[in-house]
């Protein structure tokens, strides 16, 4: 990847290069579940600049990671948000994305603080691997589910960015581990903690605000969200890459091959049973 004149890195792909003229909105427009999955993702991706500034504070002494976070990672995450928002606007032009996002961000931005970070930079990098595992597998699942070609192309671009982010955070974690030397149990605790956190809050806040704007006046409570999750679980059972998710999740534990195979099988089964919560 090359640096541009302003010191930022060129993006590996650009929203403007997608051929939206090939899109037939009628193919996806009736898919209400897909609408909420895309809008929720667009909200969380668009909030990336908040995490970046928090992470930059945290990695202030690590110039290489700080440079990558600001120069590449943030730019790519923000583009994910822009690309998803653009797609939603093409297919569901009546949806007031900005209003819903503003409400989402008021609640969500307040919960993103530096105090949420793990105890050491190495452990926080392991936690970032969990987040990127979540996004890489989420977009992989959607790509497998969706048949509309423009969206598939878009999801493929995002998915490959997320896998690359995972690899960067993992390499950086290994580097920090040379001095931090956290034991497997400690790392496993962080992975578990971040996994549970990711499955709970973010998705609910995003869905809640998107639903309120799309269906004003309709009941928008825990039961509404539970029905939505049931539909996601139906999609996940057929399209979620369970083995890929388990393999990525366990990578920071650096298990010996036999244990790793067993672990991937066990975690994959737990994911299948647990579904999206």
Number of residues located near Fe ion, criterion CB under 5 A: 6
Per the document, the length of the chain is: 277
| Integer Cα distance of 215 and 237 in angstroms | 27
> One symbol per residue from 106 to 145: x for binding Fe ion (CB under 5 A), - otherwise; what is it?
--------------------------x-------------
Nearer to Fe ion, 80 or 182 (CB): 80
Q: Which stretch binds Fe ion (CB under 5 A): 24-32, 63-71, 157-165, 188-196?
A: 157-165
Instruction: Assess 165 for contact with Fe ion (CB under 5 A).
Output: yes
Q: Of 172-201, which residues contact Fe ion (CB under 5 A)?
A: none
Instruction: Assess 148 for contact with Fe ion (CB under 5 A).
Output: no
Q: By CB under 5 A, name the one of 52, 80, 100, 246 that touches Fe ion.
A: 80
In the chain, alpha helices (H): 32-46, 48-58, 63-68, 74-91, 97-111, 121-145, 149-180, 184-214, 222-239, 242-250, 257-274
Instruction: Assess 77 for contact with Fe ion (CB under 5 A).
Output: yes
> Would you say the C-alpha torsion 160, 161, 165, 167 has a positive or negative sign?
positive
| Integer Cα distance of 3 and 57 in angstroms | 23
Instruction: Assess 162 for contact with Fe ion (CB under 5 A).
Output: yes
Nearer to Fe ion, 81 or 121 (CB): 81
The contact set with Fe ion (CB under 5 A) reads 45, 77, 80, 132, 162, 165
């Amino acid at each position: 990847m090359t640096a541009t004149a302003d010191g930022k890195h060129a993006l590996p792909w650009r929203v403007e290069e997608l051929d939206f003229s090939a899109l037939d909105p009628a193919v996806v427009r009736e898919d209400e579940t897909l609408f909420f999955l895309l809008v929720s993702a667009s909200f969380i991706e668009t909030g990336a600049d908040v995490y970046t500034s928090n992470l930059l504070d945290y990695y202030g002494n690590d110039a290489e990671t700080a440079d990558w976070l600001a120069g590449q990672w943030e730019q790519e995450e923000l583009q994910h948000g822009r690309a998803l928002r653009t797609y939603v606007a093409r297919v569901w032009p009546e949806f007031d994305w900005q209003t819903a996002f503003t409400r989402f961000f008021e609640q969500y931005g307040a919960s993103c603080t530096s105090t949420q970070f793990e105890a050491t930079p190495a452990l926080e990098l392991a936690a970032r691997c969990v987040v990127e595992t979540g996004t890489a597998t989420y977009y992989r699942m959607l790509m497998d589910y969706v048949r509309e070609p423009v969206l598939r192309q878009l999801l493929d671009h995002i998915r490959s960015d997320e896998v690359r982010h995972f690899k960067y955070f993992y390499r950086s974690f290994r580097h920090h581990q040379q001095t931090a030397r956290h034991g497997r149990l400690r790392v496993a605790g962080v992975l578990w903690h971040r996994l549970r956190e990711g499955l709970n809050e973010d998705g609910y806040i995003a869905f809640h605000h998107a639903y309120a704007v799309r269906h004003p006046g309709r009941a928008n409570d825990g039961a509404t969200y539970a029905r939505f999750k049931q539909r996601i679980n139906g999609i996940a059972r057929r399209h979620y890459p369970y083995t890929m998710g388990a393999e990525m999740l366990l990578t920071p534990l650096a298990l010996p091959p036999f244990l790793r195979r067993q672990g991937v099988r066990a975690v994959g089964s737990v994911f299948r049973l647990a579904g999206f919560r």
